[in-house]
């Protein structure tokens, strides 16, 4: 093995000088002073700029790809484009998620898109007034305080469909129908009159809903605790 040569004093001095030259060069490099943001609906411009981390960064060594990756970690963002331009500016364009309804879990109301992503918004009118209450602990844990991809898209689609049921559509006493997602019963519509319809999974939902409506139509005033249509071929209601 050849002997390991220790750096001489001149070599060390040269390295120190090179570092000094680099530091001096970077100190003279223009830094990003302003970030403009295209039109947004769910996120404020300030939140977008803060997420990029671009302000104050040297223009020539700052990565637009890293800034884009940081934006894509925001649940409300579907896609993003970041452009850095001379002398000291950057521009961000976002594609935000489209809310299909409102999802309540752990006492917090989120917007939800068709992919099951929960996200917050600065726009109080940025989602349809179709609401589902998710009573599952796993969803609460997943959402935390930031949101994220937490719900099966099929469950979202089923819950949004059931949320379109209007007062009195099921039975005259169903004045305040409310959609829940339960860990055991699956999709549930609570009537507001003390009885509920248990749909289970979102599979065959239209058939299940037709079955439930038929039972309720045949029993317009009968006292009920629940109607169970989880199996499209077998309807159970209580009390019998």
- 57-73 confidence digits (pLDDT tens): 999 999 999 999 999 99
127 shares a domain with 84:
no
Which pLDDT does position 23 carry in this prediction? 46
What's the rounded Cα separation, in Å, for the pair 211 and 223? 18
Residue 1 lies in a domain: no
Identify the DSSP state of 145: T
What's the order of all strands across the beta sheet hosting 34-37?
A: 34-37, 89-96, 77-85
Residue 90 belongs to a domain: yes
36-50 pLDDT, tens digit each? 999 999 999 999 999
* pLDDT for the residue 3: 55
Is residue 4 included in any domain, yes or no?
A: no
**Residue 118: its H or E element:** strand 117-119
pLDDT above 60 for 207: yes
The verdict on 70 and 132 lying in the same domain is no
- What pLDDT band is residue 29 in, cutting at 50, 70 and 90? confident
Torsion of CA 54, 58, 61, 67, to 10 degrees: 0
Confidence of residue 27 (pLDDT cuts 50, 70, 90): low
163-175 pLDDT, tens digit per residue, is: 999 999 999 999 9
Residue 192 Cα distances to 10, 47, 131, 171, angstroms: 85, 39, 15, 11
Instruction: Reduce the secondary structure of 39-88 to three states and give it as a string.
Output: CCCCCCHHHHHHHHCCCCCEHHHCCHHHHHHHHHCCCCEEEEEEEEECCC
Number of structural domains (the chain) is: 2
For residues 71-91, give the mean pLDDT.
97
- Residues 219 and 139 both lie in one domain: yes
139 and 221 share one domain: yes
pLDDT at 174: 96
Cβ atoms within 10 Å of 53's Cβ, excluding its own? 14
What average pLDDT does this structure show over 219-233? 94
Contact 97, 113 (CB under 8 A): yes
Domain shared by 128 and 225, yes or no: yes
Q: Are residues 137 and 62 in the same domain?
A: no
Report d(CA 106, CA 108) in Å as an integer.
5
pLDDT of residue 232: 84
């Amino acid at each position: 093995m050849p002997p390991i040569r220790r750096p001489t004093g001149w070599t060390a001095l040269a390295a120190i000088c090179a570092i000094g030259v680099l530091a001096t060069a970077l100190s003279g490099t223009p830094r990003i002073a302003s970030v403009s943001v295209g039109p947004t609906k769910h996120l404020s411009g300030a939140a977008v700029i803060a997420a990029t981390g671009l302000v104050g960064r040297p223009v020539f060594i700052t990565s637009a790809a890293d800034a884009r990756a940081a934006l894509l970690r925001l649940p409300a963002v579907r896609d993003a484009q970041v452009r850095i331009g001379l002398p000291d500016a950057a521009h961000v364009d976002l594609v935000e998620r489209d809310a299909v309804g409102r999802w309540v879990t752990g006492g917090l109301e989120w917007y939800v898109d068709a992919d099951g992503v929960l996200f917050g918004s600065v726009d109080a009118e940025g989602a349809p007034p179709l609401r589902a209450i998710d009573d599952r602990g796993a969803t609460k844990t997943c959402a935390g305080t930031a949101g994220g991809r937490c719900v099966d898209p099929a469950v979202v689609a089923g819950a949004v469909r059931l949320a379109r049921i209007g007062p009195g559509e099921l039975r005259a006493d169903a004045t305040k129908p409310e959609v829940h997602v339960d860990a055991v019963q699956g999709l549930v519509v609570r009537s507001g009159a003390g009885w509920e319809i248990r749909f289970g999974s979102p599979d065959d939902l239209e058939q299940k809903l037709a079955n439930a409506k038929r039972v309720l139509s045949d029993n317009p005033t009968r006292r009920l605790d629940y109607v169970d249509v989880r199996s499209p071929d077998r309807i159970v209601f209580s009390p019998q």
